Amino acid sequence: MKPNNKFYLYYLLICYILGVLLYDFIGFDYTDEILLLVLVTNTCYNLLTNRVKKRKDLTEVAIVILIFISYLCYSLAIKSNTHKAIFSDFVIQLKPFLAFYCIYLTDFSLADNDKKIIRTTAVFSTIYIGSITLFGLGTGTFDNTIKSFFGHPSRYATTITITSVLYLYACSTFSFKQILSAILILSIGLFSFRSKFFGFFVAAIATLLLRNRIELKINLKNTIASIVIVASIIVVAYSKLSYYFVEGSQNGEIYARPALYMTSIKILSDYFPLGSGLGTFATHASAVDYSPLYDQYDLSSVFGLTPDKRSFISDTFFPSLAQFGFLGTILFFTFWVRLFKKIRIYSSIKSPVATQLITISFLILLFLFIESIADSTFTQNRGLFTMLLLGLSMNDMHHEAVKNICRLNILNKSVLLYK
């Protein structure tokens, strides 16, 4: 038996509309947690009724959950923060991984008619976002308008990015016209004037234009292309990078982001190898129940990290890995390397559909990496939806592999076995 595809279609639509597009406008902070609970419940039901066939993945997801539970026990044992902060951070940190595996474990794949519904939703969402943008620009109240609907320009930018990638995923042919439409959707985000978005915009265009030449392996051509893309990202984002990470750590004054990065290195050393524990550093939970580490490392006087103004504490993601220590950081990047290897195996499929899915997966990886430098998107509502979309894309890659396995001897069943 296969899972109910209509459930996943409606779930994806609701998750996008309530969990991304209207999340900040509605203002209900637990939308993503409730949506994840629904998804986890449905996945457990599919498992209990033998509707999930990819049994080998159960070992993988079990290992991930076990790792997080181990860190939960470790954090409680060392009393890293209050029980509330520890359990809250446990859920927040596990959330994107659960979202990915709950989709990836199923046989769910969107039919052409379903993709048409998704594509139409993305188009109407673009009209909605575009109308808000034009109203803000036309009335001279752009900043206030964006804050009213999206909370912050950076969230406005990520919403547009996700809408563009969602449109690309739902494209039927991945033609140049459809790619151009996706780029036009993405270009709306330029009005956010976020350096992160500028960087992703350059990387996305390069990826889309070179989509038929993407080979996920290390060689001279790929190395040169990567250097050019990274250099371009640095050039367009240089002013903000310089402001935060160069100017912000000179003249005896340090800004929140460089302070978090530099302190995270100290924590990795001081709390080797398991880290300072959940709810202690650079996370939402460590801000709600103010972590003792901020006093311990003299961060409680840094603007945005103070007890009375904590708005910058969870303003970035990578420093929060210090909570998991050297071992946890290695495990985190191992997850992404393993994922990249899976995508690389699928790149053996020389078909337009495979090229489309690999390109989308690559864009999602780029987006999450760039966002994690100066935002905690990965553990927020938008990170949850992005991981859903990544799981869905990789699911479709598997179906495309099954479809082509008979005529592609180069695959040699390696795609089917890599589960």
For the stretch 382-409, pLDDT in tens is 999 999 999 999 888 887 777 776 554 5
Query: Could you write out the DSSP letters of every residue in 194-239?
Result: -HHHHHHHHHHHHHHHTGGG---S--HHHHHHHHHHHHHHHHHHHH
Residue 230 in any domain: the answer is: yes
Would you say residue 281 lies in a domain?
no
Q: What is the DSSP string of 246-306?
A: TGGGSTT---HHHHHHHHHHHHHHHTTTT-S-TTSSSSHHHHHTT-THHHHTT-TTSTTSB
Provide the 3-class DSSP secondary structure of residue 315. coil
CA pseudo-torsion sign 371, 376, 382, 386:
positive
Task: Flag whether 293 is in a domain.
Answer: no
Token pair, residue 78, equals 């060392």
Closest by CA position to 374, among listed 228, 261, 270: 261
Question: pLDDT for 61-96, tens place per residue?
Answer: 899 999 999 999 999 999 999 999 999 999 999 999
pLDDT at position 75: 97
Residue 27 lies in a domain: yes
- 411 in a domain, yes or no? yes
Q: Kindly state whether residue 173 falls inside one of the protein's structural domains.
A: yes
Can you give the pLDDT at residue 216?
A: 55
| DSSP conformational letter for 151 | S
Distance, in Å, from the CA atom of 169 to the CA atom of 179, rounded to the nearest integer, reads 10
Contacts of 151 (CB under 8 A, 6+ apart): 24
**Contact present, 156 and 211 (Cβ < 8 Å):** no
Question: What's the first-to-final CA gap in the chain, in angstroms?
Answer: 19
The beta strand positions in 191-265, using DSSP E, are none
Q: Residue 418: its pLDDT value, please?
A: 44
How would you write the pLDDT of the chain (419 residues) with one tens digit per residue? 455 578 889 999 999 999 999 999 998 989 999 999 999 998 888 878 776 655 556 888 899 999 999 999 999 999 999 999 999 999 999 999 999 999 888 767 788 889 999 999 999 999 999 999 999 999 999 999 999 999 999 999 999 999 999 999 998 788 889 999 999 999 999 999 888 888 889 889 888 887 665 555 556 655 666 676 666 666 655 555 555 555 545 555 678 888 999 999 999 999 999 999 999 999 999 999 999 999 999 999 898 899 998 889 988 999 999 999 999 999 999 999 988 888 887 777 777 888 888 889 989 999 999 999 888 999 999 999 999 999 999 888 887 777 776 554 544 444 444 44
Specify the pTM.
0.89
**Domain interval for residue 23:** 5-52+108-244+347-417
In a domain, 167, yes or no: yes
> Structure tokens of 105?
């474990």
Dist CA 370 CA 196 (whole Å): 7
Structurally, how many domains does the chain consist of?
A: 1
CB 196 within 8 A of CB 374: yes
Other CB atoms within 10 Å distance of the CB of residue 207: 18
pLDDT the model gives residue 238: 56
State the pLDDT at residue 281.
96
Task: Please check whether residue 42 lies inside any domain of the structure.
Answer: yes
Give the DSSP letter of residue 20: I
Nearest to 335 by CA among 22, 18, 65: 65
Q: Minimal CA–CA distance to 290: which of 84, 76, 93?
A: 84
Instruction: Please classify residue 269 by burial: count the beta carbons closer than 10 Å to its beta carbon, then call 0-12 exposed, 13-18 middle and 19+ buried.
Output: exposed
Using CA atoms, how far residue 45 sits from 63, 195, 339, 387, in Å, is: 20, 43, 26, 21
Place of tokens 């939970």: 285
What are the C-alpha distances in Å from 245 to residues 198, 250, 253, 257, 390?
A: 18, 9, 12, 7, 31
Q: What are the backbone angles phi and psi of residue 189, rounded to the nearest 5°?
A: -65, -15
pLDDT at 315: 87
